[in-house]
Amino acid sequence: MNTPPASNPVTGVLWMIVTGLLFVGVTAVVKVLGTRVPAPEAAFLRYALGLVFLIPMLRPLMNARLTKRQYRIFTLRGVAHTAGVSLWFFAMARIPIADVTAMNYLSPVYVTLGAALFLGETLALRRILAVVAALVGALIILRPGFREIGMGHYGMLIAAVFFAVSYLTAKRMADETGAAVTVAMLSITVAIGLAPLAYMNWVTPTGWEVFLLFIVAALATAGHYTMTLALAAAPVTVTQPVGFLQLVWAVLLGALVFDEGLDVWVIVGGMVIVGAISFMTWREAVLKRRLRTPVAPATKL
């Protein structure tokens, strides 16, 4: 019988803190980039420049014998992620960092709904309550009728849906092809998908803008790597709540660096979403432990 790897919660927490800081760094650099470069082009350059980080993944990618079905699923994920990334860049340049970060937490909620609708998973009462609470949190952030809702907010709402589709397909393909192939195929398909969108409204970037987008690619790649280290070191129930510190970093960054002020309702709405996801994650972990625990007589054998 295979022995499960030892859990190291402290290491997992530390790596997740680093992950949150790296991803907030991504949002900060994109904010500095501004709106001169169109969103699809900025996203394309981020992925095109990031292809250099795929060099270590070339061997497993070349050795992978992908079926037509797997290519179709990777293509679906590439299309969904292409749309999500374009909308994220669009939103990031137009609304406060805290708003983007808080609304991005809706993706796990959409994943839950998608898993029930398309993967046949049971939508238990706990999941329904968590989804409702998260949507209430989104309404608190947006406050329709009480604040101006910009195109960036709508962009983030839709982007979270596309990211959820990307996650659902990634979850299936990572089990079949491994993490390296899944990550490599994402970068390749998204770069290809964004190329025509970037070409249609191309604005020649300056050297400074290219440098900023390379930094975005480096920070995002490092963030995905450290997140993998965190998940390998400790259970999701330990690392995921720590990941929500990203909202704290985002609020501080927006207030102290970009003079965006502190919107209490964004923080409240974000915490409602965080609480809903944390509850759902905790309950799923508790149920999994119960399923793995042998019945009383079996423990005595």
Of residues 283 and 185, more confidently modeled: 185
Mean pLDDT confidence for 282-299: 53
- Please, what is the Cα angle at 90 between 89 and 94, to 5 degrees? 110
Residue 147 sits at φ, ψ, to 5 deg, of -150, 160
Q: Which of 28-32, 190-194, 200-204, 274-278 has the lowest mean pLDDT?
A: 274-278
**For the chain, how many residues are written?**
301
Three-class secondary structure of residue 275 per DSSP = helix
**8 A C-beta contact, residue 195 and residue 45:** no
Q: Which residues contact 56 (CB under 8 A, 6 or more apart)?
A: 180
* pLDDT at 298 (0 to 100): 38
Three-class secondary structure of residue 144 per DSSP = strand
Q: What tens digit of pLDDT does each residue of 101-152 get?
A: 778 777 777 777 777 776 666 667 777 777 778 778 777 877 766 667 788 8
Mean pLDDT confidence for 60-68: 83
Residue 233 in this model has a pLDDT that exceeds 90? no
Closest-CA residue to 82 (of 158, 27, 181, 171): 158
Looking at the chain, list the stretches that DSSP marks H as alpha helix, in order from N- to C-terminal side.
Answer: 9-33, 39-50, 58-63, 68-92, 97-104, 107-118, 125-142, 151-177, 179-200, 207-233, 236-243, 245-256, 264-292
